[in-house]
Amino acid sequence: MSLTIHFTLNGSPVVFEVEPEERLVHTLRERAGLTGTKLGCGIGECGACSVLLDGKLVPSCLVLSAQADGHEVTTIEGLSKNGLSDLQRAFVEEGAVQCGYCTPGMVMAGEAVLRRYQRPTTRQIRAGIAGNLCRCTGYAKIVSAIRKTARRRAHRRSGR
Amino acid sequence: MLNFLRLSSLADVSEMLWADGPVSALIAGGTDLLVRPERLASARILIDISNLTELGGIGVTPDGDLRIGAAVTHQEIADDDTVRRHAHLLAQACAQVGSVQIRNRGTLGGNLANASPAGDSIPALLCLEARVALVARERGRAVPINEFFVGPAKTVMQVDELIESVRIPLRRGRWVSFFEKAGQRKGMCCSKASVAFLAQRHGDRRLTGVRVALGAVAPTAIRVPAAEAALEGQVLTLERARAAAEACREAARAIDDIRSTRDYRREAVSALLLQGLLPLYDRMRALARPRRRSRRRR
């Protein structure tokens, strides 16, 4: 039995036919063709599949696609509609990408931290990405990229 | 063949459970259900309760309880000012559940219904003497949290019952609390052992209403009356803290399993209690100092 679901994906309304047990990560990758979201562990422990659901960071491997019906989903593609976002650029500048598999999830987690705190402390940044594993272990540079973006955004806000 | 249903009221959900309870599974955050293929395989109907407004919300009821809807997430609880004011210990515990991703999905009701001996909210709710409000077709009951769990993954819930909310009696006075846990990975783990502590702090530095509860060291989370007695009505001293920690070690009926060993868990609960009590000891001494000085001046 398949279900018809409607939700907002990166700002646009979408409709998909999904299976009842289908996970959001599969709908995003296989049906929407948005392969930026990565499937890692499939049990909510690695953070590679992180997306924003109604603005909140969630593991898309543990969200049934049917549960996204009527909600708003933002993926890594949604953050970079007009080229790389400021946070992505900071990842590049700081060398915060090694193999790259964890990167989309890390950027989503970083974005969630930046939306929650205007001036996040290092501790808040670390706690915010604690659910994301980087097996290349490049955490220090990831934290600096997020911190740098926080500074730049604060600067932009005060400039206005 | 699996079916997915989103129902619009609690009454409908309960009707559905009454008719198809054995083959249906409730899903809210999905952080437990979706990592257990065997549970999913045995279900024919998934009932999504994450959107039910009746299961949402945090507030104070007319009869003076803090009410937290069953579908409220751990992150919402950790961030909520009303919870922080009236049941800070629960906010402390919920802030340490899983990662931010898991906290944004996992719900308080799910943590209870899942009934893992390692569920992080449970020792906190034991200390807070919470009640679990259950609803079924045209009936409801409130079960004290210490009577709710029967064993690992087992509760007193009937097939057509579901958790509506958790009720916590409001407290007067100044309270101190902490939740400490040990696990494989700080940012995201299932506890190997956990300790929740709650006590009322008085001007003369005495602690009363002391509650100590342990998670992951027995078939269900447990209170430790001997540890509570070691501290009750007393000024916190290092000797008393050590005695309470020893009582925790003795009370832990831990097992060896995939996550840890019996011996480690017994050591851990004792160390975790001390880890929480030592900063409290320092804080209470610091609080006491200016009072002494002002007395001398008089």
* Model pLDDT, residue B298: 46
Give the mutation candidate from A62, A137, A139 for the B interface (greatest B CB count, under 10 A). A62
**Spatial contact of A120 and A146, defined as CB atoms under 8 Å apart:** yes
Residue A9: its H or E element? strand A3-9
Across A32-41, average pLDDT: 97
Residue of chain A nearest B28, judged by CA positions: A67
Domain A3-78 is found in CATH 3.20.20.80: no
Residues in chain A closer than 8 A to B51 (CB atoms): 70
Across B84-89, average pLDDT: 96
- A51 SS3 class: strand
pLDDT of residue B33 exceeding 60: yes
Report how far Cα B36 is from the mean position of its chain's Cα atoms: 22
Phi, psi of B15 (to 5 degrees): -55, -45
| B151 has a chain A CB within 8 A of its CB | no
More confident residue, B53 or B262: B53
Residue A50: its H or E element? strand A50-53
pLDDT of residue B296 exceeding 60: no
Across B8-25, average pLDDT: 89
What digits encode the pLDDT tens for the residues B52-81?
A: 999 999 999 999 999 999 999 999 999 999
CB-neighbour burial class of residue A13 (10 A; exposed 0-12, middle 13-18, buried 19+) = exposed
* Model pLDDT, residue B292: 52
Domain spans of chain B, in order of start = 3-169, 175-297
Residues in chain B closer than 8 A to A39 (CB atoms): none
Whole-angstrom CA distances from B295 to B247, B282, B287 are 37, 21, 14
Mind telling me how many Å the CA of A44 is from chain B's nearest CA? 7
**Percentage of residues in chain B having pLDDT higher than 90:** 75
Domain spans of chain A, in order of start = 3-78, 86-159
Characterize the bridge pairing of strands A50-53 and A12-18: unpaired
Instruction: Please report which confidence band the pLDDT of residue B230 belongs to, taking 50, 70 and 90 as the band edges.
Output: very high
Beta strands in chain B (DSSP E): 3-6, 24-27, 45-48, 58-60, 65-69, 131-136, 139-144, 149-151, 154-155, 162-169, 175-182, 193-201, 206-215, 222-223, 234-235
Architecture of domain B3-169: 2-Layer Sandwich (3.30)
In this complex, do B2 and A1 lie within 8 Å of one another by their Cβ atoms?
Answer: yes
Mind telling me how many Å the CA of A43 is from chain B's nearest CA? 6
In CATH, the number for domain A86-159 is 1.10.150.120
Question: Rounded CA gap, B261 and B221, in Å?
Answer: 17
Characterize the bridge pairing of strands B234-235 and B206-215: antiparallel
Question: Rounded CA gap, B22 and B12, in Å?
Answer: 16
**Spatial contact of B76 and B58, defined as CB atoms under 8 Å apart:** yes
| A86 has a chain B CB within 8 A of its CB | no
In this complex, do B102 and A1 lie within 8 Å of one another by their Cβ atoms?
Answer: no
Q: Which of A3, A57, A66 comes nearest B104 by C-beta?
A: A57
* Buried b / exposed e along B194-212 (16+ C-beta atoms within 10 A): bbbbbbbbeeebbbebbbb
**Spatial contact of B66 and B57, defined as CB atoms under 8 Å apart:** no
pLDDT of residue B42 exceeding 70: yes
In this complex, do A57 and B27 lie within 8 Å of one another by their Cβ atoms?
Answer: no
Give the mutation candidate from B33, B48, B100 for the A interface (greatest A CB count, under 10 A). B100
Q: Which of A1, A3, A131 comes nearest B99 by C-beta?
A: A131
pLDDT of residue B187 exceeding 90: no
Residues in chain A closer than 8 A to B49 (CB atoms): none
pLDDT of residue B257 exceeding 90: no
What's the predicted TM-score (pTM) here?
0.94
Across B256-264, average pLDDT: 82
Question: Rounded CA gap, A90 and B283, in Å?
Answer: 41
CB atoms < 10 A from the CB of B280, how many?
A: 18
* Model pLDDT, residue A37: 98
| A41 has a chain B CB within 8 A of its CB | no
ipTM score for this prediction: 0.96
Alpha helices in B159-234 (DSSP H): 225-231
What digits encode the pLDDT tens for the residues A49-69?
A: 999 999 999 999 999 999 999
Give the mutation candidate from A1, A3, A5, A21 for the B interface (greatest B CB count, under 10 A). A21
Three-state DSSP string of B139-160? EEEEEEHHHHEEECCEECCCCC
The CATH superfamily assigned to B175-297 is: CO dehydrogenase flavoprotein, C-terminal domain (3.30.390.50)
In this complex, do B34 and A23 lie within 8 Å of one another by their Cβ atoms?
Answer: yes
**Percentage of residues in chain B having pLDDT higher than 70:** 95
**Spatial contact of B67 and B76, defined as CB atoms under 8 Å apart:** no
